[in-house]
Structure 1
């Protein structure tokens, strides 16, 4: 395993998350099912998963390092090429001398999408020693996990005074799972989407789900797609609508939202402003394939005005 020497002396954010090579099919006449031969009207491929997070932070001017493994296969090489074209820092990339394929076929509809995915294996986890060497201000975790490596990483971050933000990523557990509440209590910011929040808590009402989650994590931000966001920070509840946009493809919207929020935590004056940046990134992400219409820092003011006018 080879890691390139960091191209930056410090990172504001350390993203821990996998890449996916997304094949996106749009304009299907129906949801895929056995025995049906469906033809899409449109197709493209895009770098997915944590690539979207890294891209959004890069465009916003936040110094972000992306901890991600790549192999010698064509999919890894194409993602690396795209990352460099977008000026995403590659100092934390892990290069493996073997195939390390991660693919998803996404069938995208206006209101939602589904995936058929394949991954070679789990990425090597950063160690507490890696975290101490890198020392970001924020550790942004792509998914929620109860494994020992993740627990050690979070414990190390807390000792170093690093803020821990974690997505959920469709975990197949609820709050009754052994160790889940304890893990949630160690996270500074929890970023599930509405479906995940309801599944974790067993609630059908989003405000009830939020109330339960905030018993264990002081800052919970729930992504609601076209409904915007509902969040709680230190006991106060916030609601912001999404931008009024034409939805093209929802793939990558959640990862883009997370990046906008973390950028806001670091550079905006208050919690509401951080949520505004998150909503702008999440809303714009759905207007093109796989979150490619993400804003640059210089774009934010025009969308804040648009949001206020709406």
Structure 2
């Protein structure tokens, strides 16, 4: 059953929650036969929770389409959402366990996951989208399934801007239907590894050029290197903030939220990128995005780099 306390949002985030167990200070990468002890541990709400949290802190009216069950992990994530004043109007309440867990082994330069997911979340329908009518549809992950195609087609017909993350899809541009799917998206937000894997290119700038043949706005997240993006043929680059990296879990989701907030509320494209870089950079300074900025924090972190 869906709680429909609101009928419209600036942003509709479609994405799953994850209950992230984060292990830091490991002496080595986990491997068979090794018993490793972490120096630090915490748990955080992950995946699209980070996106919803970042948008909420920035003051964007966002609804998060996400399924929750009657299990302890779902209940704890919903409790955290209430504490952070994340709107629950699009939460789907299921009367059964709906567990989503990830164990993250976190290092300063990267991280890995061991994950478990009960099942796929129920997708919003075109009728749901017509009822909600957000300005922006922000999709966690990239999919070629018929439900996602129908949702994107409905968004285009309603004049809703479509932004999609990539989320480690096991496909490249030779996959039937993938290029056509990219053409239906307004903004594509892969990270550098994903962009290279999709295009088969080893140079991120070449990968960017390939992707912009099919999507007019492509934003490639580069971690500590910042971002490279192309909007209607113009290329932009911004460095990441100089911060002490604590945990990179949730940085990409936080970046996405900052960028979408910027699209809605900033005067130009590079200003939107600035907000995205601020959110992504600050996310890595604590566990799983807990150090995300509020709207009042942005001005002291703003830093502009000339567009190419």
Q: TM-score range by the shorter chain?
A: over 0.9
Inter-partner Cα distance in structure 2 for 1:66 and 1:132: 16
Task: Compute the displacement of 1:9 (Å).
Answer: 3.9
Partner of 1:167: 165
Partner of 2:150: 152
The structure 1 residue matched to 2:70, chosen from 64, 69, 72, is 72
Partner of 1:5: 4
More divergent stretch after superposition (143-152 vs 296-305) = 296-305
Partner of 1:86: 84
Partner of 2:266: 268
Inter-partner Cα distance in structure 1 for 2:47 and 2:284: 14
Inter-partner Cα distance in structure 1 for 2:2 and 2:225: 41
Alignment of 1:125 with 2:123, yes or no, is yes
Give SS of 1:3's match: coil
Q: Is the 8 A contact 2:274 2:304 kept in 1?
A: no
Inter-partner Cα distance in structure 2 for 1:197 and 1:10: 33
Alignment of 1:110 with 2:108, yes or no, is yes
The structure 2 residue matched to 1:44, chosen from 18, 24, 42, is 42
Partner of 1:177: 175
* Length, aligned pairs only: 306
Task: Compute the displacement of 1:267 (Å).
Answer: 0.2
Give SS of 2:293's match: coil
Alignment RMSD: 1.0
Consecutive unaligned residues of structure 1, counting only runs of 5 or more, are none
TM-score, scaled relative to structure 1: 0.98
Task: Compute the displacement of 1:5 (Å).
Answer: 2.0
Task: Encode CA deviations 1:258-303: one digit per residue, 9 max, x unaligned.
Answer: 0000000000000000000000000000000001100000000000
Task: Compute the displacement of 1:33 (Å).
Answer: 0.2
Consecutive unaligned residues of structure 2, counting only runs of 5 or more, are none
Task: Compute the displacement of 1:185 (Å).
Answer: 0.4
Partner of 1:135: 133
Task: Encode CA deviations 1:212-247: one digit per residue, 9 max, x unaligned.
Answer: 000000000000000000000000000000000000
Give SS of 2:113's match: strand
The structure 2 residue matched to 1:17, chosen from 15, 18, 35, is 15
Q: Is the 8 A contact 1:166 1:189 kept in 2?
A: yes
TM-score, scaled relative to structure 2: 0.98
